[in-house]
Amino acid sequence: MAIIKPSIPKGTRDFSATEMVKRNHIFNTISSVFKKYGYQEIQTPTMENLTTLTGKYGDEGDKLIFKVLNSGDYLSNINTEKLESRSSQALISEISEKALRYDLTVPFARYVVMHRNEISFPFKRFQIQPVWRADRPQKGRYREFYQCDADVVGSESLINEAEFILIYHEALIKLGLKDFTIKINNRKVLSGIAEIIGKPQLIVDMTVAIDKLDKIGLDGVIKELLERGFNEQDIEKLKPIILLSGSNEEKLKSLRSALSSSQVGLKGITEIESIFNYLELLTSQTQESAKQNLELDITLARGLNYYTGAIFEVKTNEVAMGSIGGGGRYDDLTGMFGLSDLTGVGISFGADRIYDVLEELKLFPEGTSESTKVLISNFDEQAESFALPLLQKLRNAGISAEIYPSSAKLKKQMTYADDKNIPFVILIGSDEMESGLLTLKNMKSGEQQKLSADQIIGLLLA
């Protein structure tokens, strides 16, 4: 039998025990902020029905959905003509009824519709689970990655948007980031821009193109706009809006003038101003920098079809990395599942990218790599019998502790403690058993001291 070389699919990763401690630090930090703002946790299945997901992310998004083949002999009932066409698109609906979730927002909308008689509106939920995208793997872009989402449905209040800005700011500051930008725009403003240049039917084409400004530059955006049905005259009208500069207030003033003939565009501007006003009222002195981190970016489009109002994107300025968060307002997303006129707004943290940023900047707090606080040595059967009641006493006090599982030389046990980043070791020999004073070794400093079990517990809990 041939030996198979072990491997994993590109764009996926294993996580070591050390990495999991760091990842949980991110998840716990973000979820603590969500809870502080009144959000409750739910979970949805890894797989959704394919019909639930398709048509919600635009043509480009639909291509990135991982389809799951039907079980059994899924080709047996397909006619020969379809098989011979060799078209996967023609076959997909017959060979695949399920798919891995692409994001957490659409499954959440499905959840709300299915459980609408059990939940109270407005409904505020958060969700921390993996999602899958059939994308080309590269730095900061994975095929399997975690999202940390918070959404509220059943409320039109723009207080929610202002609070999301504060949630982003508070969570990222708690994680140690100092220089980041929370970008905001409004899809109604983008609709207004398409309207004043006389191409409202090309709103999606326009947003997809200008959303790439950071990646392909102005010349690249112009080229794509020309390919998507815009002419030179349209682009001349678009240029000053795309290249808008100044403070947030100056940009809004310029936009009001440029979009004065568009009712929908002016409504979008008013919504942004309202969010800024709410933010002013909600911001405490300690959160003053939240406003400084906020930038109105008219090129922010986020190509997802379901956003209808405010849209957000968060980028760190300390590391070369794509967005580490994003979201926005969506009207009637649940209407696709039979529950109309239910507006919602939500944001997402890209946990995997945040992990890479924190790792590169060495921002994980000291101790996040610890899995065990203290190791008890094991030199012989007598020492083992003495150590086991102490082991449980430490655990009962809330201290993560373990005993080396079999008698071994000191060097081997110290190496084990070092490999696991265990900061303390209790050494128990005949002297310790006789006197009741145990030797506590600090693995970082090398310092050793003789202490009673209660004194060790007090020190480790301090």
Would you state the pLDDT for residue 242? Answer: 84
Name the β-bridge partners of 312.
184, 327
Name the token pair of 119: 């939940």
Percentages (nearest 5) of helix, strand, coil residues in the chain? 45, 20, 35
Q: Write down the residue that tokens 């999202």 correspond to.
A: 147
User: What pTM, to 2 d.p., does this model score?
Assistant: 0.84
Q: Write down the residue that tokens 């309207």 correspond to.
A: 195
- CB-based burial of residue 79 (10 Å sphere; 0-12 exposed, 13-18 middle, 19+ buried)? exposed
- CB-based burial of residue 314 (10 Å sphere; 0-12 exposed, 13-18 middle, 19+ buried)? buried
CA distance 310 to 184: 7
- CB-based burial of residue 426 (10 Å sphere; 0-12 exposed, 13-18 middle, 19+ buried)? buried
| CA angle in degrees (0–180, nearest 5) for 30-31-33 | 70
DSSP for 257-317 reads HHTTT-HHHHHHHHHHHHHHHHHHHH--GGGTHHHHTEEE-TT-----TT--SEEEEEEES
In the chain the first and final C-alpha atoms are separated, in Å, by 57
What element of type H or E holds 108?
A: helix 105-114
Would you state the pLDDT for residue 90? Answer: 62
CA distance 174 to 34: 13
Would you state the pLDDT for residue 288? Answer: 67
Which positions ≥6 away from 267 have C-beta within 8 Å? 188
Tell me the angle at which helices 453-461 and 381-396 cross, rounded to the nearest 10 degrees.
40
Q: Write down the residue that tokens 């403690």 correspond to.
A: 417
Would you state the pLDDT for residue 97? Answer: 86
What element of type H or E holds 193?
A: helix 187-196
Contact 127, 315 (CB under 8 A): no
Contact 330, 343 (CB under 8 A): yes
Would you state the pLDDT for residue 203? Answer: 86
Task: Please state the length of the chain.
Answer: 462
Which positions ≥6 away from 242 have C-beta within 8 Å? 210, 213, 218, 221, 298, 299
CA distance 457 to 462: 9
Sequential pLDDT tens for the chain (462 residues): 789 899 999 999 999 988 998 999 999 999 999 999 999 999 999 999 999 998 888 788 888 999 988 777 777 677 666 666 666 666 776 677 899 999 998 899 999 999 999 999 999 999 999 999 999 888 768 899 999 999 999 999 999 999 999 999 999 999 999 999 999 999 999 999 999 988 988 888 888 888 888 889 889 999 999 999 899 988 988 888 888 889 999 999 999 999 999 999 999 999 999 999 999 999 876 566 678 899 999 989 875 567 899 999 999 999 988 899 999 998 887 888 888 889 999 999 999 889 989 999 999 987 666 679 999 999 999 999 999 999 999 999 999 999 999 999 999 999 999 998 899 999 999 999 999 999 999 999 999 999 999 999 999 998
